[in-house]
Structure 1
């Protein structure tokens, strides 16, 4: 008799888009989502930088660091995201104005 593999509900369907967010503490979710707010302020440039910050913070949230180290590292990513956005926009405006 041939054994058929277990085809769970997500095995052939689309992957769960929210899987990266499941299982995180509330503060990890908040710190992960703060960089994507650049999308509201900066359009495509802000969205690109914010998405990079979001993915970086999601990665840091899953690392086996202590809570204080995670908080500081994730706050650093948030700060770096906003700083990078303002630097890129400043350079862009400087080039446009000549």
Structure 2
């Protein structure tokens, strides 16, 4: 059996920060990065929720599902991240404004 190379490190042994993005198709990259667009909207809260959505979408992109299932699942994660942000921001707003 042929051993696959370890893409998580560069030739000098340093970790590759872009290894999770390598090998994905353009649509997988777009859907993976979409939740992180919450950062300009929500600062730390949006960044936290968006970052979680990004990593979940990256994991889904590597799963052996069919393309339609991947697209729907990744869109669901993205929409869930935005909905989660709206809910958390709304609760914080209500608590602060009372």
Same fold (TM over 0.5): yes
Partner of 2:59: 59
Q: Which runs of 4+ in 1 moved over 4 A?
A: none
Partner of 2:11: 9
Give unmatched runs, 5+ long, in structure 1.
Answer: 1-7
Aligned-pair CA distance for 1:10: 3.7
Partner of 2:47: 47
Q: Does 1:80 align with 2:91?
A: no
SS in 2 for 1:93: helix
Task: State the structure with more CA Rg.
Answer: 1
Q: Report the count of equivalent residues.
A: 89
Distance 2:12 2:56 in 1: 26
Aligned-pair CA distance for 1:97: 1.0
Partner of 2:7: none
- Report the TM-score when normalising by structure 2: 0.88
Distance 1:38 1:9 in 2: 34
Partner of 1:93: 93
Partner of 2:25: 25
Distance 1:81 1:69 in 2: 18
